[in-house]
Amino acid sequence: MATIKATDNTLDQIIRNNKVVLVDFWAPWCGPCRMIAPVLDQLANEVGKEAVIAKLNVDENPFAAVKYRIQGIPTLKLFVNGKETTTFVGVQPLNKLKASIMQYAN
């Protein structure tokens, strides 16, 4: 399963409607954001049945960035059953993100 695009209007619904959601808060001008993009694509392929990987462009969606207190990018937030459980700031290795997601699988 591929990553999905989230917006100010859809993010809360995505978080509510899925058990496990990892949201990548990013911007196109951000070098580290571009570095982590292929990692998130691979992660989405590996955990697609267990979790949704969503990407939110903070430049296009400033309300969600403010609501979730994003101060630097890339910031990734893991939500389980609609509640924020973990925050990652900066580029993260695939195995760390996958392990965080898989502890909530099933």
Please indicate whether residue 30 is annotated as part of the active site: yes
Active-site position among 4, 27, 30, 37: 30
Close Cβ partners of 76 (under 8 Å, ≥ 6 residues apart): 22, 23, 24, 25, 36, 87, 88, 89, 92, 97
Residue 88 CB coordination number (10 Å): 17
Catalytic residue chosen out of the listed positions 33, 54, 64, 78: 33
Query: Active site includes 49?
Result: no
Instruction: Provide the annotated active-site residues.
Output: 30, 33
